[in-house]
Amino acid sequence: MKRTRYDGFHIALHWLIAALIVAAFGLALYIDTLPLSPLKFRLYSYHKWMGISVLILVAVRVIWRHTKGVPAPLPNQPRWQVVVANATHHSLYLLMFVLPLVGWAMSSAKGIPVVLFGVLPLPNWVPVDHDLGEILETAHKTLAWILAALVAMHAAAAIKHHVIDKDDTLRRMLPGKS
């Protein structure tokens, strides 16, 4: 039978990753307002753990997606909408990989190790270089804002489908029966 909904594991990953991204983003903006202090460093560690968790979970999700597949676009949608939705989803996946990787690279270039959950030291995979660290910091912040803009557009589209078109777009990404 042709699938009409996302499967439970994909749905769980979608919302878990979305929550982690929103939390990492909000936390980063909050940390920026704090003076240098042990609290600031601790919160940066939490920010990094959330970001690396996104990287790991999105890798699991892409493997799952390729193994299990996803439902076809809903019928009766204009072609342009299917093309824009596809392009947005691909860009979101790309950014979910690139943004944490650039964050990790930035930390490496600045010579600050990332210790995942305080127990697992991750390798510094970029040479320590102050100028490179600054460039990666700008890239990280710019990419984060691009991701935020895409997410806002993506969420607005989902709500528009639910409230105005009254179709199944949002329902098939929510837990429940088909």
Q: Which of 52, 109, 126, 136 binds ligand HEM (CB under 6 A)?
A: 52
Q: Is 18 in the site for ligand HEM (CB under 6 A)?
A: yes
Interface pick for ligand HEM out of 11, 132, 146, 170 (rule CB under 6 A): 170
Q: Which of 118, 109, 101 is nearest to 44 (CA)?
A: 118
In the complex, the smallest distance separating the C-beta of residue 142 from ligand HEM, rounded to whole angstroms, is: 10
Q: Which is nearer to ligand HEM, 1 or 109 (CB)?
A: 109
Phi and psi at residue 123, in whole multiples of 5°?
-65, 145
User: With contact defined as beta carbons under 8 Å apart, do 169 and 161 qualify?
Assistant: yes
Site string for ligand HEM, 107-136 (x = CB under 6 A): x------x----------------------
Cα–Cα dist 5/30, whole Å: 37
C-beta of 107 vs 126, nearer to ligand HEM: 107
Closest CA relative to residue 154, chosen from 18, 24, 26: 18
Q: Are 100 and 81 in contact (CB under 8 A)?
A: no
Task: Give the residue from 144, 140, 136 showing the smallest Cα distance to 109.
Answer: 136
Q: How many CB atoms lie within 10 A of CB 21?
A: 23
Half-sphere exposure of 126 (CA within 13 A, CB side): 22
Q: Tell me how far, at minimum, the Cβ of 84 lies from ligand HEM, in Å.
A: 11
Q: Which of 13, 54, 109, 136 binds ligand HEM (CB under 6 A)?
A: 54
Where does this chain bind ligand HEM (CB under 6 A)?
14, 18, 21-22, 24-25, 28-29, 32, 44, 47-48, 51-52, 54, 65, 70, 73, 85, 89, 92-93, 96, 99-100, 103-104, 106-107, 114, 137, 140-141, 144, 151, 154-155, 158-159, 169-170, 172-173
